[in-house]
Amino acid sequence: MANPAPDPEPEIPQPARLWTVGEANRRLAQLGELLPRLRSWAQRLSEVQAEVERLSAFWGKEVDAADHVDHERKSQLDAEGQNLTRRLEEAVRSLQRDGIEVKDLSGGLVDFYGLVDKEVVFLCWRLGEAEVGFYHRLDGGYRSRRPIPETARPTVSGPRDAN
């Protein structure tokens, strides 16, 4: 009888790159435009899902019948929901490929992978803040963020080769 396979090692994030504070700050203008757009898509998706749920609760499975009075409306909502979901997922995946994590879309909270004092951390920014001025450990969150000390800013690493 073969020995059972050992438990897999916990996955360590391998971001596409590590950002410097300066690089992250230069990306903020683009994020300042993108995040409200993503938020509006997410809001519309929520509205679409609520309307689909309302139709389904009222009519049951009958609404899916081709000759049902609300079938076309539900089909349009389903297609819009799929389109919005696809656009949101593509945008978030694109940011993730760049080493940017969307943590809270409604609050405009994003984290950039960075390096502070030789530790991989999240450089933390919230929509409306003038610059990236905080960081927290990968296992921490917004509540544990701390100001990036001036002495640590020069040690924040540049991009890492993705190979």
Q: Where are the domains of the chain?
A: 21-155
Instruction: Tell me how far CA of residue 159 lies from CA of 55, 140, 152, in angstroms.
Output: 49, 22, 17
Q: What is the pLDDT of residues 96-148, one digit of tens each?
A: 999 999 999 999 999 999 988 888 999 999 999 999 999 999 999 889 999 99
CB 100 within 8 A of CB 27: yes
CB 71 within 8 A of CB 64: yes
3-state secondary structure 29-45: HHHHHHHHHHHHHHHHH
Which amino acid is residue 120, in one-letter code?
V
**pTM of structure:** 0.76
